[in-house]
């Protein structure tokens, strides 16, 4: 979505802790990625601030900045973390003269490992108390209408109280997997639309599963990788230690495991971005200028290097 020279956003269509109980796959993927921005200004442009999400460390991912380059017009590069779920690169450009081209390129190394399913699930349980940290993954989020009566009713119907926590969550996952037909849509519809139309892509299927989990007391959140998203849910072991478990929302069925090795861009689905009012489901690229005589041409870069 583009608003002339003020904002630019691009939308995209695991994490468990290192568990002693899990069968961990050992094949770590080492990738190099280039992120950045190229802006071409046909006219005078001042007060530019741009942001883009960059991968950050997670239990299953380690990120190292290998190189940063920028043209002379770029005054500063800095990084900030929002809600402990997404890291942003913030780019400042005070002034672009007519005909100027400014570039920023950051080269990253991302080490990402697959997650194996736990060997023992019978002792896992739904948290009895929700910590402040987990509350963000229990209520409504943008287009995750957890409290809607239709979603609440479905969650109640699917849960068998005599089943263990793992089996209860898997029943929610299987219902979404079997009843929501995969259909790609350019426009994000959300959990309720997926339930009502019985259609959706990875984002809608992820949203509905998350909403159902939250209704039975299980924290759940979105995980975003380039071109895709999937959910993860939170259960405690017999010692009270919590673990996040991933599952695949589209493609090959995977519950409690993940072999997708694309870099994790962010985790979560309700972010408050400085300078923006409403919470965001996904922190996308932004570009703003205080003044521009002609709209600049902005290209954000995210590509895997050979």
User: Where residue 179 sits, what CATH number does that domain have?
Assistant: 3.10.620.30
17 has pLDDT over 60: no
Asked whether residue 169 falls in the same domain as residue 236, the answer is yes
Q: What is the CATH number of the domain that holds 70?
A: 2.60.40.2250
Query: Mean pLDDT, to the nearest integer, of 166-188?
Result: 94
Q: How far apart are CA 22 and CA 26, in angstroms?
A: 12
160 has pLDDT over 90: no
Compute CA distances 262 → 5, 67, 89, 117, 239, whole Å.
31, 20, 19, 18, 32
Asked whether residue 260 falls in the same domain as residue 293, the answer is no
Query: Mean pLDDT, to the nearest integer, of 247-265?
Result: 95
Asked whether residue 176 falls in the same domain as residue 260, the answer is yes
> What is the average pLDDT score of the chain?
90
118 has pLDDT over 90: yes
CA angle 102, 105, 107 (to 5 degrees): 175
Asked whether residue 65 falls in the same domain as residue 47, the answer is yes
Query: Mean pLDDT, to the nearest integer, of 193-199?
Result: 96
- Please check whether residue 12 is in contact with residue 263, taking contact to mean a CB–CB distance below 8 angstroms: no
State the total domains in the chain.
2
| Site of tokens 């090795």 | 261
In a domain, residue 243? The reply is yes
pLDDT score recorded for residue 214: 98
Contact partners, residue 285, CB within 8 Å, separation at least 6: 8, 9, 10, 37, 50, 51, 52, 53, 300
Beta strands in the chain (DSSP E): 2-3, 7-8, 29-41, 45-54, 61-70, 76-82, 86-96, 100-112, 181-182, 199-200, 220-225, 228-236, 242-246, 266-267, 286-288, 291-292, 297-304
Pairing of strands 291-292, 45-54: antiparallel
In a domain, residue 123? The reply is no
Asked whether residue 66 falls in the same domain as residue 87, the answer is yes
CB-side neighbour CA atoms (13 Å) of 212:
29
Q: In this structure, what DSSP letter does residue 223 have?
A: E
In a domain, residue 119? The reply is no
Asked whether residue 202 falls in the same domain as residue 106, the answer is no
Compute CA distances 152 → 51, 78, 157, 169, 248, whole Å.
37, 42, 9, 14, 22
**Nearest by Cα to 245 from 116, 111, 58:** 116
Q: In this structure, what DSSP letter does residue 116 have?
A: P
Q: Show the domain range for 213.
A: 132-267
**What's the pTM value of the predicted model, to 2 decimals?**
0.89
Asked which of 44-48, 66-70, 89-93, 272-276 is least confident by mean pLDDT, the reply is 272-276
Asked which of 2-6, 283-287, 297-301 is least confident by mean pLDDT, the reply is 2-6
Asked whether residue 139 falls in the same domain as residue 253, the answer is yes
Asked whether residue 194 falls in the same domain as residue 221, the answer is yes
Token code pair at residue 85 = 């779920």
Number of residues that this document lists for the chain: 306
Asked whether residue 140 falls in the same domain as residue 263, the answer is yes
Token code pair at residue 84 = 């402990």
Q: How far apart are CA 252 and CA 262, in angstroms?
A: 15
Give the pLDDT band of residue 38 (cuts 50, 70, 90): very high
Asked whether residue 262 falls in the same domain as residue 289, the answer is no
In a domain, residue 263? The reply is yes
Asked whether residue 151 falls in the same domain as residue 74, the answer is no
Q: How far apart are CA 139 and CA 81, in angstroms?
A: 22
């Amino acid at each position: 979505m583009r608003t002339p020279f003020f904002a630019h956003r691009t939308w995209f269509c695991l994490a468990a802790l290192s568990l002693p109980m899990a069968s961990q796959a050992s094949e770590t993927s080492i990738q190099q990625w280039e992120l950045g921005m190229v802006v071409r200004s046909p006219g005078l442009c001042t007060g530019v601030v741009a942001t883009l999400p960059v991968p950050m460390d997670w239990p299953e991912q380690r990120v190292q900045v290998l190189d940063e380059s920028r043209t002379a017009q770029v005054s500063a590069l800095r990084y900030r973390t929002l809600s402990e779920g997404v890291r942003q690169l913030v780019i400042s450009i005070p002034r672009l003269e007519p005909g100027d081209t400014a570039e920023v390129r950051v080269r990253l190394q991302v080490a990402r490992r697959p997650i194996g399913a736990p060997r023992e699930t019978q002792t896992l349980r739904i948290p009895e108390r929700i910590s402040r940290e987990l509350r963000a993954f229990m209520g409504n989020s943008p287009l995750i209408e957890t409290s809607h009566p239709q979603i609440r009713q479905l969650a109640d119907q699917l849960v068998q109280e005599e089943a263990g926590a793992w089996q209860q969550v898997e029943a929610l996952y299987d219902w979404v997997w079997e009843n929501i037909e995969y259909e790609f849509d350019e426009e994000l519809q959300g959990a309720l639309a997926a339930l009502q139309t019985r259609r959706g892509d990875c984002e809608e299927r992820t949203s509905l599963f998350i909403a159902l989990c939250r209704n039975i007391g299980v924290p759940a959140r979105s995980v975003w990788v380039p071109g895709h998203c999937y959910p993860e849910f939170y259960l405690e072991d017999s010692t009270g230690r919590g673990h996040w478990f991933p599952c695949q929302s589209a493609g090959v069925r995977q519950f409690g495991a993940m072999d997708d090795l694309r870099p994790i861009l962010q985790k979560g689905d309700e972010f408050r971005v400085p300078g923006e009012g409403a919470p965001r489901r996904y922190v996308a690229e932004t570009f703003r200028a205080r003044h521009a005589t002609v709209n600049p041409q902005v290209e954000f870069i995210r590509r895997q290097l050979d």
